[in-house]
Amino acid sequence: MKKLRTFLSLLLVALFTFGVITPKVSAKEMKTKINEDGRVQIILEFDDVEEAKWAAEFIAKMKAKNVISGYPDGTFRPNQPVSRVEAIVMAVRLMGLEKEAQAKSAENVKLHFKDAALLEKQYPWAKGYVITALEKGLFDTTEEKIQPDKPATRVWVSSLLVRALGLQADALKQMTKIPVFKDADSIPAGAIGYINVALEQGIIAGYPDNTFKPYKNVTRAEMAALLDKTGNGLLENTGAVTVYGTITDINFVSISVTDKVYEATTGTVTVRTFAGDSATYFIPADLMVQNKDGFIRANQLAKGDVVTLVIKDNKVIEAYLLDKETVENTEPGILKLEVQVDTGEGREYKLEYKNEKGKVYGEVKEEQGKENDEDENEDNGDKNNEDKNNGDKNNEAKNKENIALVKELVEKMALTSEMTKQEIADRVLSVLEIDENAVKELEIEVRFANGKKVEIDIEKEKTKQAEEKEDEEMEDDD
């Protein structure tokens, strides 16, 4: 018995050293309830969540990540404008720089803003976050004032979050690409590129009336939604991938030594993805797994659960448990597909498909004559923006017929992660009934349920049809 205890003690030392398990401790008090399936549901919500029910999921997720916080009275005040200093703090936290910012708060650093005294007087706790934001390039170089208490506008927040993603260079390349909005003239010239990138990244979008409203204040609820979109981009930038499938095995091992029980802090989960392959990952036992009602701990996941997992370095860092009853009949092997085809003759074809948490978002459109008058561009813009997922609010008003068409096209393509880039391109063009010889530019991005991502960018100097047309024109001239 003594030898056994010695062996177990040594085992515990080894496990602690490698960070696999820790002593069992009581969890922080949270609102909980027992679900019908016996799992403990953790509810992370504020007292006034009903005031912005559309954003409840985003607010809860950002709260779970400690990116946002509420007020002492238990409210979040979702419809209140988010201030600039609040937005800066949230962005820094989202980037995982909380500790760095807190450490800088104690430093005797003088800020070179004209209203630095206002910040230090009214928001001394935020000084370290502002310093960190400066060092990470989150501020416009022309900003002379922080204006910490000023409401953050859509154009200002867009710029902040694009910088948080480190996409300043991309923004600078798009400074002359004017967005097709009725109020594009009201967007500051120096912000055009940042708006374009924010739109491309899906962080933000225009309104159904084809306006952008750059100076409209962003509410705290909208900020939570924008942060969620940005967070997805940050994860991708760090090399994280998303897998989608069914849990086939999950293990968390607890060890007892004398009268003490040590609970595993890390287990393993095996998922058979909807792309057809299986993989095993490490998963923290206390990871907050989001579902339609709130959260559960990862150690309550079970075989047969349908999940979306975000993986980095073979470890689950985010997870979402899907409701089997509401998972749509989709093409589950594909999480995202974007196709853009330009024939160089005024015809442009775009297809967007996204399978997010079992729900499908899709859009397909064909534009003819991009050089048409302003009124036609505005009409196209209205149609495009009505169906596009709004980055400010979780736009649920999708065109059912459009989505059904996208789903049908994606199913016909039957793309797999084993296909070559050429095979994918050929299959896409075939299903869309586009002649390969007529293609001037082709862009495809597809993400499979096993985490594999394929990007295709083909640009031809001159299409065969264009050459034939030129030959005909030359003959006519002769």
Is residue 293 included in any domain, yes or no? no
Q: 86 and 192 share a domain? A: yes
Q: How many CA atoms, within 13 angstroms, populate the side-chain half-sphere of residue 216?
A: 16
Is residue 142 included in any domain, yes or no? yes
SS3 354: strand
| The dihedral sign for the CA sequence 127, 128, 134, 139 | negative
The residue among 403, 329, 412 whose CA lies nearest residue 365 is: 403
Looking at 180, 211, 237, the residue that finishes a domain is 237
pLDDT at residue number 467: 54
* Lowest pLDDT segment from 72-76, 239-243, 365-369, 449-453: 365-369
pLDDT at residue number 174: 96
- Does the structure show a pLDDT above 50 at 6? no
- Measured between alpha carbons, how far is 41 from 300 in angstroms, rounded to an integer? 10
Q: Can you tell me which residue has the tokens 């008003």?
A: 397
User: How many separate domains does the chain show?
Assistant: 2
For residue 436, give its domain range. Answer: 334-465
Torsions phi, psi for 354 (to 5 deg): -145, 125
Average pLDDT over every residue of 146-172 = 97
AA identity, residue 253? V
* Lowest pLDDT segment from 63-72, 88-97, 377-386: 377-386
pLDDT at residue number 370: 44
Helix, strand, coil content of the chain in percent (nearest 5): 35, 25, 40
Is residue 276 included in any domain, yes or no? no
Sequence-separated contacts (24+) of 106-115 with Cβ below 8 Å? 107/131, 111/146, 113/143, 113/144, 113/145, 113/146, 114/144, 114/145, 115/145, 115/146, 115/147, 115/148
Is residue 309 included in any domain, yes or no? no
pLDDT at residue number 99: 94
Band (pLDDT 50/70/90 cuts) for residue 397 is very low
Residues 341-380 pLDDT 10s: 998 777 788 999 988 877 888 888 887 654 444 443 333 3
* Lowest pLDDT segment from 74-88, 115-129, 419-433, 464-478: 464-478
Compare 44 and 178 and report the one with higher pLDDT: 178
E strand residue ranges, 167-277:
241-251, 255-257, 260-264, 266-273
- Does the structure show a pLDDT above 50 at 8? no
Average pLDDT over every residue of 60-82 = 94
pLDDT at residue number 329: 54
Q: 360 and 217 share a domain? A: no
Q: 100 and 205 share a domain? A: yes
Looking at 201, 218, 237, the residue that finishes a domain is 237
> Could you tell me how far CA 380 lies from the centroid of its own chain?
26
Q: 229 and 347 share a domain? A: no
pLDDT at residue number 122: 93
- Does the structure show a pLDDT above 50 at 382? no
Is residue 100 included in any domain, yes or no? yes
- Would you say 5 and 18 are in contact if contact means Cβ atoms under 8 Å apart? no
Is residue 6 included in any domain, yes or no? no
Is residue 3 included in any domain, yes or no? no
Residues 194-224 pLDDT 10s: 999 999 999 999 999 999 999 999 999 999 9
Average pLDDT along the chain: 83
> Could you tell me how far CA 95 lies from the centroid of its own chain?
13
Q: Can you tell me which residue has the tokens 């989960």?
A: 269
pLDDT at residue number 469: 56
Looking at 203, 237, 271, the residue that finishes a domain is 237
pLDDT at residue number 468: 56
- Does the structure show a pLDDT above 90 at 477? no
Q: 347 and 219 share a domain? A: no
Is residue 225 included in any domain, yes or no? yes
